[in-house]
Amino acid sequence: MDGKVFRYVSGSLHYFRVPKPFWKDRIQKMKAAGLNAISTYVEWSLHEPYPGQYNFEDIADLEYFIQLIQDEGMYILLRPGPYICAERDFGGFPYWLLNVVPEKRLRTNEPNFKKYVTRWFSVLMPKMQPYLYGNGGKIIMVQVENEYGSYHACDKAYMIWLRDLYKSYVGHKALLYTTDGCGYAFFKCGAIPEVYATVDFGSNCTGVCFQYMRKTQPRGPLVNSEFYPGWLSHWGERSPRVPSNSIVKTMKNMLALNASFNFYMFHGGTNFGFKSGANMKSNTPQHGFQPQLTSYDYDAPLNEAGDPTEKYFKIKQALKEANRQVSHQISPVPTPKGDYGKVTLKPLASFFEQITQRVKPVTNDVPLAFEDLGVNTGFVMYETNLTDIQKSFIGVVKLNIKTVRDRAIVYLDQKQQGTMYRAMGNYTMALNISRTVKKLSILVENLGRVNYGRFLDDKKGIFDPIKLDNKTLGPWKMIPHPLNETSWIPPIKPKQSVHLPAYFKTEFVLPANSTKCLDTFLDPSGWTKGVAFLNGINLGRYWPANGPQVTLYVPSIFLVPPPAINTLIMMELESVPKDLSVKLVNKPVTKY
């Protein structure tokens, strides 16, 4: 760099997973550990949630995030994709692409896809240009696409086109690079001429993975663009743990080879709202669905709440021994957390009540996908009347749905009959139809679009004919519940009881001595599955019945100090504890 030997030790920190007021704290802790660079993806869906509507405010204030990194004298590795994976809904793509790009043509040379990428980059990249190293900024590297060698399309024309699009903005003001997994086949499709090829890997495979990189990139520094100190988690699975000692051993090997590397993640943060994605472990889109957690703790050196862990200090010590500049100002004692006790909620309204229906219903002969309804997140209730076919179906009949994405609760006259879950592959159900049954309702939940692999075209809901035995049902009334805001809820008067699924609410004041709000964790143990909102902010999905995550992280800035009133709203799907209480505790809780 500028004629001098240079090596970066970087850590991934995603601005979109951390509240804006906490960005500086996380950046400074990373610098104190001996890092001199920070890597971040750019999430297209956050910045262009609807076509042509752009957002760069609050948690989407990317330029402020970059400026904070520059103010600390650290370098930036920018990863704008446009596809980022990142265990985010749809790999960071905006959901509306599913309506404008032909099926199975994402991440290819398809003209419509390229049109929308070009338009997005015409907004994003001019904002990034002043921060490029060649323009006096700290962005030293810009990644083209993301692990493209892992994608089945292997469209070289697309990658060359995307490279040239990047060049039109970056020129020689920063280094363009790619990153791919540890395997020659990955580099075969992922590497691009005139773009620096780097590799990803975790612990204990330094030599072989760098060999794959060397076969593609004969000259230049060795680079591990995603060095994994932890790993991601799915609902219903045990949280993975990566031993600190194995991370330090591999890190020391890379340091000895004079390699540059980036910890993915150094601080994971949280998938607030409905931003978590999903994986597939099967060759068919109907089975092997793996939705990801609200927490993105990642077993990272800085945990979900931003506290340094044992792993942090072992990494810091190893970097100190390697003559990296570290700071001794970071305490090994976690910041205090609030143990605010129990709060009790009251029933408000059921999904079956018209007051909760905030989006105009749509009627159609066959069910429509969320995307066709213009719905990004949350739920859609599919309803049809059975009055006209009652005489044909009295007794036990079989409900058949070809596709459920992702989880459906089935009701007869508002009484729950059972669930269908894509992860289990169960799309049939026996229903006992009596002479008095009038309505079939199916509430479908979007648990996050697939973010990796060949099944990115992951439309949600039901979009095939639904049958009772061999009889096709319809027409269907579809009622969206996107759950993208709760401002309409306060005027509703609490009730003694309510029919699930339903909203519940409480208002509470923090203890009088709480002059400063502390981070805390919402513990919904006893509740089954739903979504929690605090002071209008969507904390994310909870599912303690499934685990491993039980608690939801609550940053201090989401709370208001006394005597101000905090409002908690829970949308529960299936069952609630008798006392309708939750706790605000000072430690995260996991099921296993």
User: Rounded CA gap, 109 and 117, in Å?
Assistant: 11
User: Rounded CA gap, 20 and 28, in Å?
Assistant: 14
Largest CA distance in the chain: 85
Query: How high is the pLDDT of residue 431?
Result: 95
**Residue 94, both tokens:** 């905006």
Question: Do the domains spanning 9-321 and 359-481 agree at the CATH topology level?
Answer: no
Annotation: CATH topology of 359-481: Jelly Rolls (2.60.120)
Of 429, 435, 428, give the one whose Cα is nearest residue 394: 435
User: Rounded CA gap, 589 and 583, in Å?
Assistant: 11
Do you know the residue count of the chain? 592
Query: How high is the pLDDT of residue 390?
Result: 58
Name the CA dihedral angle for 200, 201, 202, 208, rounded to a multiple of 10 degrees.
-150
**Residue 104, both tokens:** 């199975």
Look at the pTM and tell me if it is higher than 0.85.
yes
Query: How high is the pLDDT of residue 394?
Result: 78
pLDDT digits (tens, 9 = 90+) for 264-302: 999 999 999 999 999 998 777 777 999 999 999 999 999
Active site residue ranges: 147, 226
State the average pLDDT over residues 39-63: 98
- How far is the first Cα of the chain from the last one, in angstroms, to the nearest whole number? 47
**Residue 241, both tokens:** 């743990």
Query: How high is the pLDDT of residue 489?
Result: 82
Mean pLDDT, rounded, of the chain? 95
| Cα torsion 116, 121, 124, 127: sign | negative
Q: Do 240 and 265 meet the contact criterion of CB atoms below 8 Å apart?
A: no
Band of pLDDT at residue 38, cut at 50, 70 and 90: very high
Query: How high is the pLDDT of residue 553?
Result: 99
Annotation: CATH topology of 9-321: TIM Barrel (3.20.20)
| Cα torsion 517, 521, 527, 528: sign | positive
State the average pLDDT over residues 217-224: 95
Q: Which residues, 6 or more positions from 584, have their beta carbon under 8 angstroms from its beta carbon?
A: 338, 339, 340, 341, 343, 520, 521, 522, 523, 554
Query: How high is the pLDDT of residue 420?
Result: 97
Ramachandran assignment for 414, one of left (phi > 0), alpha (psi -120 to 50 degrees), beta (any other): left
Peptide bond into 501 cis (omega under 30): yes
DSSP line for 510-537: --TT-SS--BEEEE-BTB-SEEEEETTE
Of 498, 512, 524, give the one whose Cα is nearest residue 577: 524
Query: How high is the pLDDT of residue 181?
Result: 96
Q: How would you write 427-474 as a 3-class SS string? A: CEEEEEECCCCCEEEEEEECCCCECCCCCCCCCCECCCCEEECCEECC
Query: How high is the pLDDT of residue 104?
Result: 95
Kindly list the domain boundaries of the chain, sorted by start residue: 9-321, 341-348+484-585, 359-481
Beta carbons within 10 angstroms of residue 446's beta carbon? 26
Q: Do 500 and 526 meet the contact criterion of CB atoms below 8 Å apart?
A: no
Q: Is the pLDDT of residue 12 over 70?
A: yes
**Residue 48, both tokens:** 């262009």
The CA-based angle 427-103-109, given to 5 degrees, is: 150
CATH architecture of residue range(s) 341-348+484-585: Sandwich (2.60)
Band of pLDDT at residue 109, cut at 50, 70 and 90: very high
Provide the angle, in degrees to the nearest 10, between the axes of the packed helices 62-71 and 23-32.
Answer: 30
Of 145, 150, 137, give the one whose Cα is nearest residue 189: 150
Q: How would you write 170-230 as a 3-class SS string? A: HCCCCEEEEEECCCHHHHHHHCCCCCEEEEEECCCCHHHHHHHHHHHCCCCCCEEEEECCC
pLDDT digits (tens, 9 = 90+) for 522-558: 999 999 999 999 999 999 999 999 999 999 999 999 9
Query: How high is the pLDDT of residue 283?
Result: 73
The CA-based angle 509-514-520, given to 5 degrees, is: 80
pLDDT digits (tens, 9 = 90+) for 140-149: 999 999 999 9
pLDDT above 90 as % of the chain: 90
- Hunting for tokens 């330094």 — which residue is that? 206
Q: Is the pLDDT of residue 339 over 90?
A: yes
In this structure, are strands 346-350 and 341-344 parallel, antiparallel, or unpaired? unpaired
Question: What is the H or E stretch that residue 117 is in?
Answer: helix 111-128
Q: Do 131 and 65 meet the contact criterion of CB atoms below 8 Å apart?
A: no
User: Rounded CA gap, 446 and 406, in Å?
Assistant: 6
